[in-house]
DNA sequence: ACCTGAACACCGTTCAAGT
DNA sequence: ACCTGAACACCGTTCAAGT
C-alpha cells in the first residue's frame, strides 16, 4: 500500500503528539499492533522515523499514549450512558458501565493485550477506576469489599477478558481440530461437551465461543456474588 | 523434582529439543522473558545461534514448547495433590486443583504473559482442561454450565490473573504515587479507599496488594456463584 | 524548532559451507 | 547429522548535521 488518498499527508499538517498517537491507533485498528513500528508510522505520516522522536519520547511512551487515548474514549462512552443511581441499583449501573467500556474496546482489538502487557498507571485510567469505585461505594460497599471487588473484576472492569484459546488463522484452527480428534480417546469429557455444545450452537467449540455472552455470564457471576457479600440475607 | 544442577557448557552434552527448552525456561525464570533471544540462549548452551534451529523450528515454536513444559509441570503438581472426590465436593476439588496450578506458575513468573499472548492449544493444555472439566461434570454440572464455567474462570483455571497495575520498578512506583497525590482532589473515593486499606495493611496500595489473597477471593466468588447455579436452593 | 541521513546495537532467520 | 560464519531484512534509537 502506498500513501493513499484516505489520509492527506500532502497538506503538510505539522506533526504533534496527538496526531502521531491517533495515527498509530488507526494503524493498529486497521492491521495489527505489530505493524506499528516507528518506521511504518513515520512513513504513514510522510516523515522520517527519527522525526517522531520530537513528539514522542520513545516507543514505550507511544504505546502508553495510545492506551491513554483509548481509555479517554471509554470515559466518554461511559459518561454518555444513562444508568440508574448506584444508590438504587449499583449492580445495573456497574453492568452498564462495564458493557459500555467493552463497546469501545471492540473497536480497538489490540488494546487489551497492550493494556495487560504494560500495566500502566495513567491519569485517565485512574479516573476510570475512580468512577468504578464510586459506584461500589455509593452502592453500600465498604472500602475493603470495594477493594476486593476491583481485584476480582480485574480487566473485566475495563470490559475485557483475555481468551486463553483464540481463532488465530484458519490453519491453526484446523490443526487444533486434528489434535482433538487424535486425542479423542483420552478426552471423554471434552469431546462430550463439545459434541453437545456444538448441537446447541454449531459455530461453537472450546475456543471460538460467543464472547459477548460469555463475558456477560462471567460478569454477572461476579456481580451477583458481590451483591450477596454486600447485602447478605 | 531435581532441578538441573549447573551444567558446565564445556561438557559438550549434545543438544536436543528438551534441553534447549529447559535452558530457555531457566533463563526466563532467572531473568526475564525478554532475555530469551536465540543468540542469548545459544551462548548459554555454548553454541552458535543457528545451531538451535536444528532442534527447534523457530522462536515461536520455542516459546510454545516452553509453555508446554510448564503446563506439564502443572499437571504433575495437580496429580500429586490429594483432593476430595468431586462427587462429594467438587468445589474443594476444583479449588485445590487451581491453587496447585498457581504454585507452579509462581515458579515461572514469565509464563502467564506468554500463555495469554500466544493462546496456544497444545496437547498438555488440552489434557489440563479435560481434568478441569471432569471435576465440573462429576460435580453435577451440565455440559452447558461447565462450558460457561470454563469461560468464566478463564486464566484463573490455570492459576493466574493478570494484574492491571503492577510494581514495575521503584521509579514507576514513585511516579504513580506522585500522580495520585497531584490528582487527589479529583479522586475522593480512591484516596479514601487507599487511606483505609493502607491502615489495615501498610504495604497495600491499589496495585501492590496481596496477590494470593485477592486471587482466592475472586476464585471463591466464582466458585460460589457456580455452586448456586448448579444447585439452586 | 523541526526534520533528516547515516550509523549503531540489537533482533530472527536464510543460506551455503564446513566437520 | 550436526554445527558454523556471513549475510539479509528488519527493529529502536543516537548523533551530528541540515533548514
Whether the pLDDT of residue B125 is over 90: the answer is yes
d(CA B231, CA A77): 38
Whether the pLDDT of residue B121 is over 90: the answer is no
**Phi, psi at residue A198, to the nearest 5°?**
-60, -30
d(CA A99, CA A156): 9
Reading the block at residue B115, the C-alpha cell is 500463555
pLDDT digits (tens, 9 = 90+) for A3-56: 333 343 444 567 899 999 999 999 999 999 999 999 999 999 999 999 999 999
Whether the pLDDT of residue A106 is over 50: the answer is yes
Cell 444513562 sits on residue: A82
Per-window interface: A 42-81 vs B, CB < 8 A: none
Contact A63, A118 (CB under 8 A): yes
Reading the block at residue A80, the C-alpha cell is 454518555
Q: Which of A45-49, A112-116, B92-96, B196-200 has the lowest mean pLDDT?
A: B196-200
Higher per-residue pLDDT: A94 or A12? A94
Q: Specify the pLDDT at position B111.
A: 95
Q: Give, in Å, how far the C1' of C12 lies from the CA of B58.
A: 8
With cut-offs at 50, 70 and 90, classify the pLDDT of residue B9.
very low
Terminal-residue alpha carbon distance, chain A: 63
Of the partner residues A115, A137, A190, the one whose CB lies closest to the CB of residue B133? A190
Q: What is the DSSP letter of B155?
A: G
| Cβ–Cβ gap B158/A164 under 8 Å | yes
Taking CA atoms, A83 is separated from A79, A93, A98, B175, in Å, by 9, 5, 11, 34
Q: Is A51 near strand C, with its CB below 7 A from some atom of it?
A: yes
Q: Give, in Å, how far the C1' of D4 lies from the CA of B18.
A: 22
Find the nucleotide nearest B52 (Cα to C1′): D3
Chain B contact present for A134, CB below 8 A: yes
Cell 481434568 sits on residue: B131
Q: Is B51 near strand C, with its CB below 7 A from some atom of it?
A: no
d(CA B149, CA A214): 9
Q: Min CA distance, B44 vs chain A (Å)?
A: 27
Q: Specify the pLDDT at position A121.
A: 86
pLDDT digits (tens, 9 = 90+) for B136-173: 999 999 999 999 999 999 999 999 998 887 766 677 77
Q: Is A37 near strand D, with its CB below 7 A from some atom of it?
A: yes
Rounded mean pLDDT, A156-174: 81
Neighbouring C-alpha atoms within 13 Å toward the C-beta of A93: 18
Largest Cα span, chain B: 67
Higher per-residue pLDDT: A14 or B70? B70
Q: Is A191 near strand C, with its CB below 7 A from some atom of it?
A: no
Count of beta carbons in the 10 Å neighbourhood of residue A12: 9
Q: Is A107 near strand C, with its CB below 7 A from some atom of it?
A: no
Q: Min CA distance, A142 vs chain B (Å)?
A: 9
d(CA A224, CA A95): 11
Contact B159, B102 (CB under 8 A): yes
Chain A contact present for B134, CB below 8 A: yes
**For residue A115, which residues of chain B lie inside 8 Å, CB to CB?**
164
| Cβ–Cβ gap A152/B221 under 8 Å | yes
d(CA A52, CA B68): 40
Chain B contact present for A1, CB below 8 A: no
Q: What is the DSSP letter of A33?
A: G
Contact A154, B218 (CB under 8 A): yes
For chain A, give the percent of residues with pLDDT over 90.
73
Q: Specify the pLDDT at position A10.
A: 41
Q: Would you say the pTM of this structure is higher than 0.85?
A: yes
| Cβ–Cβ gap B162/A180 under 8 Å | no
Whose CA is closest to A72, among A113, A111, A33? A111
Q: Is B11 near strand D, with its CB below 7 A from some atom of it?
A: no
Reading the block at residue B40, the C-alpha cell is 542469548
Taking each helix axis from N to C end, the angle separating A211-230 and A86-106, rounded to the nearest 10 degrees, works out to 160
Whose CA is closest to A124, among A164, A77, A163, A170? A77
Q: Residue B11, Cα to own-chain centre: how many angstroms?
A: 34
Whether the pLDDT of residue B181 is over 50: the answer is yes
Whose CA is closest to B36, among B122, B119, B125, B108? B108
Count of beta carbons in the 10 Å neighbourhood of residue B118: 17
Amino acid at each position: 500500500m502506498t500513501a493513499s488518498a484516505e489520509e492527506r499527508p500532502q497538506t503538510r499538517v505539522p506533526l504533534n503528539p496527538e496526531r502521531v498517537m491517533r495515527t498509530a491507533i488507526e494503524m493498529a485498528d486497521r492491521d495489527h499492533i505489530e505493524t506499528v513500528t516507528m518506521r511504518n508510522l513515520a512513513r504513514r505520516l510522510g516523515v522520517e522515523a527519527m522525526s517522531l522522536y520530537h513528539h514522542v519520547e520513545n516507543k514505550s511512551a507511544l504505546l502508553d499514549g495510545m492506551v491513554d487515548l483509548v481509555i479517554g474514549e471509554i470515559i466518554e462512552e461511559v459518561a454518555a450512558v444513562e444508568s440508574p443511581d448506584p444508590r438504587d441499583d449499583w449492580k445495573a449501573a456497574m453492568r452498564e458501565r462495564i458493557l459500555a467500556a467493552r463497546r469501545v474496546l471492540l473497536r480497538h482489538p489490540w488494546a487489551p493485550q497492550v493494556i495487560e502487557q504494560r500495566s500502566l498507571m495513567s491519569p485517565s485510567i485512574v479516573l476510570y477506576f475512580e468512577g468504578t469505585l464510586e459506584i461500589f461505594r455509593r452502592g453500600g460497599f465498604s472500602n475493603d469489599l470495594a477493594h476486593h471487588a476491583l481485584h476480582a473484576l480485574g480487566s473485566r472492569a475495563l470490559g475485557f477478558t483475555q481468551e486463553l484459546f483464540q481463532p488465530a488463522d484458519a490453519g491453526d484452527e484446523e490443526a487444533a481440530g486434528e489434535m482433538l480428534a487424535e486425542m479423542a480417546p483420552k478426552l471423554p469429557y471434552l469431546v462430550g461437551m463439545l459434541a453437545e455444545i456444538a448441537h446447541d450452537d454449531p459455530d461453537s467449540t472450546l475456543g471460538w465461543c460467543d464472547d459477548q455472552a460469555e463475558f456477560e455470564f462471567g460478569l454477572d457471576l461476579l456481580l451477583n456474588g458481590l451483591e450477596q457479600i454486600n447485602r447478605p440475607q
